[in-house]
Amino acid sequence: MKTISTAKSHGGTQGVYAHASETCGCDMTFAVFVPPQAKDGPCPVLWYLSGLTCTHANVMDKGEYRRMAAELGLIVVCPDTSPRGESVPDEKDDWQFGSGAGFYVDATEAPFATNYRMYSYIVDELPKLIAAHFPADMTRQSIFGHSMGGHGALTIALKNPDRFASCSAFAPIVHPSTADWSSKAFERYLGPDEADWRSYDACLLIEDGHRFDAFLVDQGKADGFLQDGLRPWLLEEACRKAGIPLTLRMQDGYDHSYFFISTFMDDHLRWHAARLGTGGGDVE
C-alpha cells in the first residue's frame, strides 16, 4: 500500500492511499478518515460508496463528513467506483458505463470480467487491507452510499447482513434491472439473461428472500433522475411486503448533488453510529 497524501482534520487524519489490486487487476485508490479516538483503540468502520462518474475524491472533498465522524469516533472508508488504467476496457464517451461506472458488480462478460469486479473488491479485498493497515474494529461495520453507490450499499448489505450493523443511502438506484441508466450496463457486464442480474438489484434481492434489519434513505424531490433512474417508491413497496423497516425521507427542493448529500450527512452518520455503539441517534 502506498500513501498518496495525509492531512490532519478535526483531530483525526484524512488520508488517500493506493495499492495494486489483484481483484481488479489494476492500481486502485481509496480514501480513509481516521478519527482522533483511534489513538485509544480500534474504531468502527463506515463504508461510503460513490456514484456514477465519481472517484474517492468526490465525497472526500464535498461530503462534509469529517467533523461528525470525528465526534462519533468513526473510520470512514471511501473506495473508488471502478477499475482504472490503460489496460482496463472503457468507453470514454459513455458516463453510464466503464470507468467511473462499475455498479459494484462482478462482471461475467468479456472483456469486462477481468477488471470490473467491484463487488468482490469492496466485500473481500479492500476490507482485508483496511484491517491490516488501519486501527479498525472490523467486528463493527456499516455501509452507505449515493446513487449508484446507494445501489451498491443496499445490495451489499442485503447479501451480507451479518457483517453490517446498518445501511443507508442518498438517492439510490433501487431497481437497476429496469432503470433507464443502469439496465444497459447490467446487460454488458452480466450478460443478456436478466436472471443473472437479480443478485445486484435491491428490490429483486428482497423479493428473493434477502433481508436486512432496517434502511434509511434520503431522496430529493427536485432530483432530475427521480422518475427514470431512482424510483424509491419501488424499494418502499418491496420493504413493505417483506416487513423490512424503511425510513424514506423525501426532501423538498433538493437535487442529486453533493449540496443535497452534505445537508443530510450528519443525520446518516448519527444513525450509523447509534447502531455501531458510538453514540448518535435516530433521525426525525
Closest CA to 103 of 156, 151, 154: 151
Tens-digit pLDDT profile for residues 154-173: 999 999 999 999 999 999 99
Helices marked H in the chain — which ranges? 57-62, 66-72, 118-120, 126-133, 148-159, 183-190, 202-207, 232-242, 258-276
Tens-digit pLDDT profile for residues 255-273: 999 999 999 999 999 999 9
**pLDDT band (50, 70, 90) for residue 284:** confident
Place of cell 432530483: 223
Instruction: Kindly provide the b/e burial profile for residues 27-58, where b requires at least 16 CB atoms within 10 angstroms of the residue's own CB.
Output: ebbbbbbbbbbbeeebbbbbbbbbbbebbbeb
**pLDDT band (50, 70, 90) for residue 93:** confident
What is the pLDDT at residue 192?
96
Q: State yes or no: pLDDT of 94 exceeds 90.
A: no
How many angstroms separate the CA atoms of 128 and 232, rounded? 33
User: Which residues have a Cβ under 8 Å from the Cβ of 196 and sit 6 or more positions away?
Assistant: 108, 190
21 exposed, middle or buried (CB, 10 Å; 0-12, 13-18, 19+)? buried
**pLDDT band (50, 70, 90) for residue 34:** very high
What is the pLDDT at residue 280?
83
**pLDDT band (50, 70, 90) for residue 226:** very high
Tens-digit pLDDT profile for residues 39-56: 999 999 999 999 999 999
**pLDDT band (50, 70, 90) for residue 29:** very high
Averaged pLDDT, 9-26 = 98
Whole-number percent of the chain with pLDDT over 90: 93
**pLDDT band (50, 70, 90) for residue 69:** very high
17 contacts 1 by C-beta, under 8 angstroms: yes
Place of cell 424503511: 246
Superfamily holding 2-276:
Alpha/Beta hydrolase fold, catalytic domain (3.40.50.1820)
How many angstroms separate the CA atoms of 239 and 66, rounded? 31
Residue 115's SS3 state is coil
Q: State yes or no: pLDDT of 184 exceeds 80.
A: yes
On whether the pTM is more than 0.85, the answer is yes
Mean pLDDT of the chain: 97
What is the pLDDT at residue 281?
84
Please give the positions annotated as active site: 147, 223, 256
Closest CA to 177 of 103, 109, 119, 106: 103
What is the pLDDT at residue 90?
87
Place of cell 434491472: 177
Tens-digit pLDDT profile for residues 103-132: 999 999 999 999 999 999 999 999 999 999
User: Which residues have a Cβ under 8 Å from the Cβ of 39 and sit 6 or more positions away?
Assistant: none
Q: State yes or no: pLDDT of 135 exceeds 90.
A: yes
Q: State yes or no: pLDDT of 180 exceeds 90.
A: no
Q: State yes or no: pLDDT of 92 exceeds 90.
A: no
What is the pLDDT at residue 176?
97
Domain boundaries, the chain: 2-276
How many angstroms separate the CA atoms of 213 and 226, rounded? 25
CA dist 99 → 85, 89, 112, 223, 281 (Å): 9, 8, 11, 24, 37
**β-sheet bridge partners, residue 33:** 14, 76
Averaged pLDDT, 197-222 = 98
